[in-house]
Amino acid sequence: MTLPSIAIEQILNELQEPVLVLDGERHILFMNQTAISLFGEGFVGRNFVRLFRHADVMKIITDVSDGKNEASIKVALENPIKGVFNFKVTSLDQDTQQSPLLLVTIKDLTDLANAEQMRTDFVANVSHELRSPLTALSGFIETIKGPAKDDVLARERFLGLMELEASRMVRLISDLLSLSKVEARQNQRPSKHIDMVELTKRVVTTLSNTAVKENKHIKVDIEGKPKPLPVFEDEITQVLINLIENAVKYSAPESEITVSICTNNHIAGFTDRVLSISVEDQGEGIAREHLPRLTERFYRVDTHRSRDKGGTGLGLAIVKHIISQHRGRLQISSVEGNGSVFTVHLPYRD
């Protein structure tokens, strides 16, 4: 027993992937609703080439038209939409002597391709970041065993440099583990309510000595009486440490870092009340073109300066992941010469 054609159309329209049916002349006889939503209306009755002008896709259509049961290919497109897609063409046998109909299914692989590229880039970046200190350590060891074998002052100097490079690798591995931990808990939701004012004050107290050593001061400004917020305490502590440490590192000498806390009822993109924590420094500021990329892994505005100050290039990436896990948002504003403000918005979810 065969299904009625109307039932087949209903089934195809329920599919989440774009599906097209072509005749022997490559005219489009049918597009399911997903295909219409993706590519637009007006293509039924027109030649397939009017929708896709890609030689490799047309080749597999020709192969199936000439007798092959099915064929598929992965291609990167710019038009009519941009992305990476897998095209599969299958021959639909008919009882008549006419040419078989062709079923074209299109699977969007763009997210998978982007994820794979991110993974490749991430591995390459980690390898580069670890190779530099390892190469330096190898050189120092060789020098100590050779030319500086009997030079006490040289040995002391090289051992100090080796300690710095080893510390750099420890920080990098620590940040990588933190990032992995946050990503593994991405779908978990906190249930314990934490007093964010007290938590912030604890972090500021911890970092005050570091600020004083650099002739800088951290001020806490609290507006109203913010209520406790459902958060993962350890992870939000890490967010505050990263943001305040960055402000201390990059603010001007003898300047003030201001940490502000307040509750906002009307923040764009949020339906609930929001707790906002801002960290403002008086540093050099950041050029506008760098702002959208600051939370990318291993992205640095000034590579040499960041490394000299012990940065791994992962701090803001970790901050972004933690805030996203809490359904919040990180807002960055900066003007060159006038410092920067990093603001964390966390919803109460009443």
312 pLDDT tier (thresholds 50, 70, 90) = confident
Do 56 and 203 lie in one domain? The reply is: no
269 and 301: one domain? Answer: yes
pLDDT, position 130? 80
- pLDDT beyond 60 at 336: yes
pLDDT beyond 90 at 311:
no
Are 166 and 133 in contact, with CB atoms under 8 Å apart? yes
Q: Which of 41-55, 77-91, 180-194, 277-291 has the lowest mean pLDDT?
A: 180-194
DSSP characters over 254-285 = T-EEEEEEEEES--TT-SS-EEEEEEE--B--
Predicted local confidence at residue 257, as pLDDT: 92
229 and 350 belong to one structural domain: yes
Mean of per-residue pLDDT scores for the chain: 85
Are 147 and 97 found together in one domain?
no
Q: Are residue 194 and residue 300 in the same domain, yes or no?
A: yes
Q: Are residues 132 and 211 in the same domain?
A: no
Domain range holding 68? 5-108
Q: Residue 173 maps to which CATH number?
A: 1.10.287.130
Given a cut of 60, whether residue 1 has pLDDT beyond it is no
CATH (domain of 291): 3.30.565.10
Q: Which residue has the higher pLDDT, 46 or 3?
A: 46
Instruction: Give the largest CA-CA distance in the chain.
Output: 94
Rounded to whole angstroms, the Cα distance separating 127 from 313 reads 13
Count the domains in the chain.
Answer: 3
Q: Are 343 and 281 in contact (CB under 8 A)?
A: no
Average confidence (pLDDT) over 167-171: 83
In the chain, the amino acid numbered 142 is E
pLDDT the model gives residue 6: 67
pLDDT reported for residue 308: 55
Q: Which of 63, 93, 108 is the last residue of a domain?
A: 108
333 and 204, same structural domain?
A: yes
Q: What is the mean pLDDT of residues 192-197?
A: 92
**pLDDT tier, 78 (very low <50, low <70, confident <90, very high otherwise):** confident
Alpha carbon distance 130, 146 (integer Å): 24
Query: Would you say how long the chain is, in residues?
Result: 350
State which of 133, 164, 184 marks the end of a domain: 184
- DSSP code at position 292: G
What is the C-alpha R_g of the chain? 29
Quick one: 337 and 196 in the same domain?
Answer: yes
Question: What would the mean pLDDT of 209-225 be, rounded to a whole number?
Answer: 90
The last residue of one of the domains, among 108, 140, 169, is 108
pLDDT digits (tens, 9 = 90+) for 247-302: 998 888 889 999 999 998 888 888 888 999 999 998 888 888 888 888 888 887 76
Residue 347 has pLDDT above 80, yes or no: yes
The CA-CA-CA angle for residues 175, 180, 186, to 5°, reads 125
Nearest to 145 by CA among 135, 168, 169, 154: 154
